[in-house]
Amino acid sequence: MRIGEVAIISHKASEPEDFIKSVCGSIEIKNKTVSFGCLEIDEQLALHLYGMNIENQNRSFFWDIVSRKMLGYILIFDWDDQKMLDAIKPIADNFSQSCEAPIVIVANIKDQTNPPVPDEFYKPEGILLSTNSIFTFGQIDDPECARRILILLVNMLIVKMP
């Protein structure tokens, strides 16, 4: 079985869990630090999603080891919560400076009917922040939206391939 791994990271545990549930349907395994979901593509290929939160981590996390394994990262923060944005900023910098894997940064908006920015500016391709990172708005508990976010990540990987 060939496996692609994606890390979904947020300040709180609930965001990655919601995202994984939206994509995979359910969370397969969960403990205090990591939640895990699996999306089977076919009998030979699967996508593993690891949800991690950084809220209660009182020691360093081996991001440099994790970064060697992952296809890419999805960093989530609540649009209304500056604290969450501030928490993921160092991780965004860490990943962007130490590895090539693409990063999608998602501002989770609770009220999809009134996004801060009209759809046409971010929906199809996200907003390119750098060669390896994209910003987008989304509602992570909406399966369609969560899959769109994953597609953004996969597209960035495809573009890199010859």
Partner 1 sequence: MAVESLIGFRLSERLEVFFQIFRGNKVSPIIDKLDNHAVSALQNFIWEKTVEFGIICRGKKFDRKEITRKMTPTANYQRQQGCNERAYYCKGTYCIQINPNCARKKIKEHVDIMAETMQEYFRIAKQREIV
Partner 2 sequence: MKKIVFVDNDTSYIVPLKTEFERAGFEVNCWDDAQKALDAISNQQVDLLICEVELPQMDGHKFFKKIRSIDAFKTTPFIFLSSQKRVDDRIKSMELGVDDYIIKPFSIEEIVARIKALFKEITLQNDTNHQPDKGFSGNLTEMNLVDLIQTLELGKKSALLKLKHDSASGLVYIKNGEVIDASLESLPPEQALMRMFTWTIGNFYVEMTPIDRERNINMANKELITVGLRRINQWEQIKDGLPPLNTVVIKTDLNNSANLSDDEKQLIVTMDEKNLIYELVQKCQCDDLKALELIKGLLNKGYLKATDENFSSYTDNYLAHLKEVASRSRTTSERAVSIMSSYFKSSSDEESSTDISNDEKKVLLDRRRYSRRLHDRLRDNNHIHLTKAELLLIRERLS
- Residues 91, 94, 98, 103: what is their CA dihedral angle, to the nearest 10 degrees? 40
The neighbouring-strand residues paired with 136 are: 106
Residue 71 is a binding residue for partner 2 (CB under 8 A): yes
Short-list 37, 32, 40, CA closest to 1: 40
Given candidates 80, 86, 93, 125, which one binds partner 2 under the rule CB under 8 A? Answer: 93
Tell me how crowded residue 145 is: count the other CB atoms within 10 A of its CB. Answer: 20
* HSE-CB for 106 with a 13 A CA cutoff: 29
Least gap, CB of 24 to partner 2 (angstroms) = 11
CB of 38 to partner 1, least distance (A): 29
83 makes contact with partner 2 (CB under 8 A)? no
- Non-local (6+) Cβ contacts of 76 within 8 A are 8, 9, 10, 15, 16, 19, 88, 105, 106, 108, 140
Q: Rule CB under 8 A: is residue 93 a binding residue for partner 1?
A: yes
- Alpha carbons 142 and 161: distance in angstroms, whole number: 30
- Hey, what are 45's tokens? 């290929």
Residue numbers 117-136 binding partner 2 by CB under 8 A = none
Listed ranges 91-99, 113-121, 122-130, 134-142: which one lies at the site for partner 2 (CB under 8 A):
91-99
| Residue among 149, 73, 72 nearest 109 (CA) | 149
Binding mask 99-128 for partner 1 (x = CB under 8 A): xx--x-x----------xxxxxx-----x-
How many chain residues are in contact with partner 1, going by CB under 8 A? 26
**Residues at the interface with partner 1 (CB under 8 A):** 85, 89-90, 92-93, 96-100, 103, 105, 116-121, 127, 129-133, 135, 160
**Residues at the interface with partner 2 (CB under 8 A):** 1-5, 23, 28-29, 31-34, 36, 38-39, 41-42, 45, 47-48, 50, 52, 57-62, 65-68, 70-71, 90, 93, 97-101, 147, 150-151, 154-155, 157-158, 160-162
